[in-house]
Amino acid sequence: MERTRRLRQTAAMRDMVRENHVRIDELIYPVFVIEGENICNPVESMPGIYQYSIDRLQEELNRIREAGIKAILIFGIPAHKDEVGSGAYDDQGIVPRAIRFIKEKMPQLIVIADVCLCEYTSHGHCGLIRGQEILNDETLPLLAKASVCYAAAGADIIAPSDMMDGRVEAIRRALDEKGYLNTPIMSYSAKFASSYYGPFRDAAHSAPGFGDRKTYQMDPANGREAMREIAQDIAEGADMIIAKPALAYMDIIKDASQNYNIPIVAYNVSGEYAMVKAAAKEGWIDEKKIVMENMVGLKRAGAKMIITYHALDVAKWITEEN
């Protein structure tokens, strides 16, 4: 008789046959930087996550170093917003200044710059608008400009999250023209119009002022279409692709990893984090066990890297186990 239990008899046996592992090297930790001085604002819906002003950012870098995290994803919250999101592509803007600070203090840390307009536009949409319409082609040069601006500041990787068509090509061309041939693009390819982004929009002050993002982000019902998005971004020059959210979309991660041979990144988003933190606080779940189960689930689905707000904790837990 086949007895699969034979390989589960002891912890050592289970460790030996384990198929998937969560590694610190593959974790990416999101960081929110806010314009202003002496700010370390807790994000209420995301316990443990803070918005830091640049003069307080060192505290966050210390936490990152202590945990052994090697890559961060940076988001900026500007002091002023306008119709065209100028703060996103101003080289004195919050993100370029934060990148320069980080690269000076911790040059070996991989800094991934999220590129989008929604944190910088008065209307909160990811592109330029005309009336109620979110403009595609008119937005591309601005995304390209922001990307060059972040690369020039020292960003190691550019991560466009806007979901405009053709943006990877526009960004790649602009980076190449300015001599940033070696700056990789990690594209949010399969990004769904999800309610799981709620807490992030509090953290990044980026909720749309009217309507929703359904004309540019994907319909949660569509898995096959996600493969088209990914194919498009790879054809345009993406070096890595992100699927987002993660947990309700593991089939997307699985399909992507089976169909495409570039690194697949799972974004374990703010709402997923908030739910775990809330239930853990109530004592209804064991936070560490639930988080590690989610992480290994993403690895099993085929994620190479994981972007997660739990990254500092996960790194500490992994270190403690060894």
Could you list the residues that contact ligand PBG (CB under 6 A)? 114, 116, 118, 126, 161, 197, 200-201, 206, 213, 269-270
Rounded to whole angstroms, the Cα distance separating 196 from 277 reads 14
Q: How far is CA 98 from CA 3, 104, 111, 113, 134, in A?
A: 56, 10, 10, 10, 29
Q: How near is the Cβ of 261 to ligand PBG at its closest, in Å? A: 25
38 — alpha (psi -120 to 50), left (phi > 0) or beta?
left
Task: Let me know: does 230 contact 258? Beta carbons within 8 Å.
Answer: no
- Residue 270 interacts, among ligand PBG, Zn ion, none and using kind-specific CB cut-offs from 5 to 8 Å, with ligand PBG
Q: How near is the Cβ of 206 to ligand PBG at its closest, in Å? A: 6
Residues involved in catalysis: 191, 244
Task: Let me know: does 209 contact 123? Beta carbons within 8 Å.
Answer: yes
Q: How near is the Cβ of 130 to Zn ion at its closest, in Å? A: 18
Q: Which is nearer to ligand PBG, 101 or 192 (CB)?
A: 192
Q: Which is nearer to Zn ion, 118 or 250 (CB)?
A: 118
Q: Which is nearer to Zn ion, 206 or 257 (CB)?
A: 206
- Residue 201 interacts, among ligand PBG, Zn ion, none and using kind-specific CB cut-offs from 5 to 8 Å, with ligand PBG
- Residue 269 interacts, among ligand PBG, Zn ion, none and using kind-specific CB cut-offs from 5 to 8 Å, with ligand PBG
Rounded to whole angstroms, the Cα distance separating 23 from 311 reads 10
Q: Which is nearer to Zn ion, 5 or 130 (CB)?
A: 130
Q: Show the tokens assigned to 186.
A: 């990690």
Coil vs helix vs strand at 77: strand
Q: Which is nearer to Zn ion, 101 or 188 (CB)?
A: 188
Coil vs helix vs strand at 243: strand
- Residue 197 interacts, among Zn ion, ligand PBG, none and using kind-specific CB cut-offs from 5 to 8 Å, with ligand PBG
Q: Which is nearer to ligand PBG, 178 or 287 (CB)?
A: 287
- Residue 192 interacts, among Zn ion, ligand PBG, none and using kind-specific CB cut-offs from 5 to 8 Å, with none
Applying the rule CB under 5 A, the residues between 79 and 138 that interact with Zn ion are: 116, 118, 126
Q: How near is the Cβ of 193 to ligand PBG at its closest, in Å? A: 8
- Nearest by Cα to 311 from 300, 319, 302: 319
- Residue 265 interacts, among ligand PBG, Zn ion, none and using kind-specific CB cut-offs from 5 to 8 Å, with none
Q: Token match 């699985």: residue?
A: 254
Task: Let me know: does 185 contact 172? Beta carbons within 8 Å.
Answer: yes
Q: What is the largest CA-CA distance in the chain?
A: 69
Q: How near is the Cβ of 240 to ligand PBG at its closest, in Å? A: 15
Q: How near is the Cβ of 126 to Zn ion at its closest, in Å? A: 3
Q: Token match 């008789």: residue?
A: 1
* DSSP conformation letters of 174-210: HHHHTT-TT--BEEEEEEB--GGGHHHHHHHT---SS
Which residues make up the interface to Zn ion (CB under 5 A)?
116, 118, 126
